[in-house]
Amino acid sequence: MGEHTAYREASLRGLFITGTDTGVGKTEVACGLVRGHRARGLDVGAMKPAQSGHHPGELSDADRLRAAAGGTDAVELVCPYRLGAPLAPAVAARLEGKSLSLSVILEAARTLAARHAALVIEGAGGLMTPLTDRETFADLAVAFGLPVLVVARAGLGTVNHVALTCEALRARALVARGIVLNRTSRDHDPSEPHNAAEIERLTGVRVLATLPFEREQAARERLIAEELSREVQF
């Protein structure tokens, strides 16, 4: 546990978005929620505290979140740490001879919080992804003190991954705001019709939506903005 775990940002309003893995749809959900709330008049800002392994020519998570939140915040505030290697932030930073600091991230969040009514903050990978040599994203979530939304795959294996993530949240007294299952593959999966109910039974946390496979990014964000964002108040 890191030195900042006892510290909570008492005044922050918003949501921390974690996943059961990398590539499960955190950025889609984060951008859709930000856009949906902003469309209904709530000035929501967005943050990706650390990102690693951005492909040249593609929009990074930070670029997408910044655009969803109106495009006026400095990139350095939206994403204080942008690392080259496609590795966990702590590992990528080590390779670059850098070290990440929770205080720098919290300071950027404070500045953004002063500019917006609420913040949506996307982690990297999952809850126990190493952020620094001493801290994981779970420690960052504790420091933010925000409710946590868990994004997970819709198919086989997700019940176990979601249950483990919910246990890790509970162990830290973090509030699980809900779970979003996301179909990242178009393949038929016989577990899908059962997974939401099984997850709710096992964890006691609500599954807010199961998102369909949708090839087009703009259409995915629109669907989340129009349908899911009403379910996720903060």
Ligand X SMILES: Nc1ncnc2c1ncn2[C@@H]1O[C@H](COP(=O)(O)OP(=O)(O)OP(=O)(O)O)[C@@H](O)[C@H]1O
User: Out of 115, 134, 172, 183, which residue is the one contacting ligand X (CB under 6 A)?
Assistant: 183
Cβ distance 60 to 91 under 8 Å?
no
Q: Choose the binding region for ligand X from 68-76, 91-99, 135-143, 208-216 (rule: CB under 6 A).
A: 208-216
Give the residue, chosen from 4, 26, 116, 177, that forms a contact with Mg ion under the rule CB under 5 A: 26
Site for ligand X in 95-134 (CB under 6 A): 124-125
Q: Which residue is nearest to Mg ion (CB)?
A: 27
Nearer CB in complex with ligand X: 8/54: 54
The DSSP-derived string for 26-65 is HHHHHHHHHHHHHHTT--EEEE-SEEE-PPTTS--HHHHH
Of 122, 143, 144, the closest CA to residue 61 belongs to: 122
Question: Rounded to the nearest whole angstrom, what is the least distance from the CB of residue 148 to ligand X in the complex?
Answer: 14
Residue 178 pairs in a beta bridge with 149
Which one of the listed residues 35, 37, 48, 161 is annotated catalytic? 48
What are 60's two structure tokens?
């990074």
Tell me the closest approach of the beta carbon of residue 46 to Mg ion, in angstroms: 11
| Region from 26-34, 38-46, 170-178, 181-189 binding Mg ion, contact rule CB under 5 A | 26-34
Interface pick for ligand X out of 2, 14, 25, 36 (rule CB under 6 A): 25
**Residue carrying the six token digits 């039974």:** 201
Binds 24: which of ligand X, Mg ion, none (CB < 5-8 Å by kind): ligand X
The span from the CA of 12 to the CA of 206, in Å, is: 23
Beta carbons of 176 and 166 less than 8 angstroms apart: yes
Q: Say if residues 225 and 35 touch (Cβ distance below 8 Å).
A: yes
Catalytically annotated residues: 48
The residues of the shown chain that bind ligand X, judged by CB under 6 A, are 19, 22-28, 61, 124-125, 182-184, 211, 213-214, 217, 220
